[in-house]
Structure 1
Amino acid sequence: MASPAPPSAASAAAAANPRFNSKRKHKPKPKVDGPSALNPNWAQLQSKLPRPTATLGKRKHRPDPSPATAPTEPSPPAEAAEVEVKLEPTSDDTSLTKTVAIDCEMVGVGADGGKSALGRVTLVNSCGNVVYDEYVRPVERVVDYRTHISGIRPKHLYKAKDFWVAQNDVAELIKGRILVGHALHHDLKVLLLSHPKKDIRDTSEYEVFRREGKRRSLKDLTAQVLCAKIQQNEHCPIEDARAAMFIYNKYKKAWEKNLREQFRFRNKLKKRGKKKSAEGDGNDPNVPTVFL
């Protein structure tokens, strides 16, 4: 009779520990693939995060973020570009201030209407309020009203002021005051008036407003400096004078400082010229006169 086989190691372990079961299989530990297994939104969030463009040491090349996820610069809203700024007085003050702005509209006189004559003159104060606005009847017969630009029609001149009356009024109003305007030589020419150069502030002559040394239109300057539109159709002298005044007010501090420096420099040159002329004068009292 064959002898029984010796107990194996497994049977011995089972005899020693009844809980041990050789047929029981060990369950594998769950593998953690990463944060995406725990949070399904992690991959989407990670794709939106900016990645550094520069790395230290040797690292694997990281592809640039796709155009869809790359950050873009914010663009201004479409409504902001369409907002139109209106030129309105800054206060209710209608007094005659130290600084006034002028604008004139002309009509055509002469044989073919090519000669300009005053048809309307407007003055506004530093706040933009009107202090004088009159239609003017020229001395010569009007041939061309230039309505598409001047806005003047025959009915406006029926009861208009005579030229000499309007000229005298304007001369009294601007006397001793700083005169602001655009291309003021045209306005003063049709008014047959002059004004001290030191008291003129012409927005067409100020070097800061020039483009490549060339004068710019009041319409262009107003759009850039004030973000407002003027002279879309017929010109309004109130609006044009107000635009010139507001442009001057915006640059007044730097403008006046620049003028003071220019006048100071010119005075130095004059003093040097007088000194040199005195030194070269043969009648210098310090040089003795020799009689022969």
Structure 2
Amino acid sequence: MAPELSSNWKKLQSVLKKENSVKADKKRKAPTEQTRNSIAKRRRLLGDLFEPASTKALGVKRRKMGNGSSSGEAAAQAAPSATLALWAEDNDISARDLADAYGEDFKNTTVPTKREDKVNGGLSEDVEIGKYVGLDCEMVGVGGEQDRSVLARISIVNFHGTQVYDSFVRPKEFVTDWRTHVSGVSPKNMATAREFDDVQQEVAKILKGRVIVGHALKNDLDALMLGHSKRDIRDTSKFPGFKQYSTGKYPKLKTLAKEILGVEIQGGEHSSIEDARAAMLLFRRHKSAFDIDHAQRFPVKVQGSGGGKSNPKKKKKKGKH
């Protein structure tokens, strides 16, 4: 017969049983807590991978909770190209929202419905030209020390920024400075370039009877050796509303595009088609003001209603018979 346990021993067993039960519970809970910590850690480490593409594309830094300093604000954002800005405006969409939707950098965002540009494509087929055309030219240097500018590329777009004409032009004189870092034109482009006389003739047909929009258009028309009625020119370099952005006689197109449109152009080699679009977008954005300025400079002459005094007609002298 087993000896009977003392009351003290029974109490000790009861205490040990409770402690073992608590330890067992802790052992069961420990893996669960560890798993939760592990999951949270993985989320923190992989957070950037699951960050929305829009914030990456826009260069936006996520603000930390409780931090109201400027370091927590959105970082500087890249500016959209003139092409993207024009398409977005035509479709009543913010250029930034458009880039956000495609999750790409502003400059590289491609719009599926946009007609692709054809560099050196000549006259575009099936494009409605309309009343207004944006024009821009790229020049190269000739004449050695004289360094005269001659035409090497020309681009024309319509009111909506669609490419109407684009061509490299073969200069008649020997080129002494290609200015590639600015003009974007190099000797290799001359292999498929068109002759100056042919380009001049084609461009003259496009410009005839239309309003030209551009920046410092006198330089472009001089390079083309073409004239155009001042009444049918809208020059963004001479528009009074843009004078405040000038540090000299005339504001730069790059400055106007950045300050007024938030558009970045001429970051390196110039693109005549992008510059033509930037000028057209500036004109469109302030068309009402352009129209008022134009009406003041070229008032329409209205003939009198006939209430004024008329000069008496001189009587004809009768000839001698």
TM range (shorter): 0.5 to 0.7
Q: Percent same amino acid among aligned pairs?
A: 40
Could you tell me which residue of structure 2 aligns to residue 148 of structure 1? 181
Q: Deviations over 1:162-183 (max 9, x none)?
A: 0000011110111111100000
CA shift for structure 1 position 135? 0.3
Counterparts of 1:15-164 in structure 2, within 5 Å, are 78-79=73-74, 81-88=76-83, 89-90=86-87, 92=114, 94-112=127-145, 114-164=147-197
Which AA in structure 2 matches 1:254?
A
Q: May I ask how many residue pairs the two structures share in their alignment?
A: 208
Preserved contact between residue 236 and residue 283 of structure 2 (Cα < 8 Å): yes
Cα distance, 1:232–1:77 mapped onto 2, change above 3 Å = farther
Distance 2:71 2:312 in 1: 75
Distance 1:104 1:77 in 2: 43
Picking from 242, 254, 265, the partner of 1:219 is 254
Distance 1:288 1:86 in 2: 71
CA shift for structure 1 position 262? 3.4
CA shift for structure 1 position 120? 0.3
State the Cα RMSD in Å. Answer: 3.1
Could you tell me which residue of structure 2 aligns to residue 257 of structure 1? 292
Q: Does 1:230 align with 2:257?
A: no
CA shift for structure 1 position 79? 2.8
Q: Does 1:193 align with 2:226?
A: yes
Which AA in structure 1 matches 2:312?
P
CA shift for structure 1 position 151? 0.9
Preserved contact between residue 101 and residue 179 of structure 1 (Cα < 8 Å): yes
Which AA in structure 2 matches 1:180?
V
Distance 2:283 2:71 in 1: 28
Preserved contact between residue 215 and residue 235 of structure 2 (Cα < 8 Å): yes
Cα distance, 1:262–1:109 mapped onto 2, change above 3 Å = closer
Distance 2:71 2:239 in 1: 32
Q: Deviations over 1:85-112 (max 9, x none)?
A: 2222426474212111010000111233
Which AA in structure 2 matches 1:285?
P
Preserved contact between residue 108 and residue 146 of structure 1 (Cα < 8 Å): yes
Which AA in structure 2 matches 1:86?
S
Moved more, 205-214 or 240-249: 205-214
SS of the equivalent of 2:144 reads: coil
TM-score by length of 2: 0.58
Which AA in structure 2 matches 1:252?
K
In structure 1, runs of 5+ residues without a counterpart are 1-72, 273-277
CA shift for structure 1 position 248? 0.3
CA shift for structure 1 position 113? 6.0
Distance 1:214 1:117 in 2: 23
CA shift for structure 1 position 76? 11
Preserved contact between residue 113 and residue 144 of structure 1 (Cα < 8 Å): no
Preserved contact between residue 113 and residue 142 of structure 1 (Cα < 8 Å): no
CA shift for structure 1 position 214? 3.4
TM-score by length of 1: 0.63
Could you tell me which residue of structure 1 aligns to residue 274 of structure 2? 239
Q: Deviations over 1:30-63 (max 9, x none)?
A: xxxxxxxxxxxxxxxxxxxxxxxxxxxxxxxxxx
SS of the equivalent of 1:122 reads: strand
Could you tell me which residue of structure 1 aligns to residue 240 of structure 2? 207
SS of the equivalent of 1:210 reads: helix
Preserved contact between residue 178 and residue 185 of structure 2 (Cα < 8 Å): yes
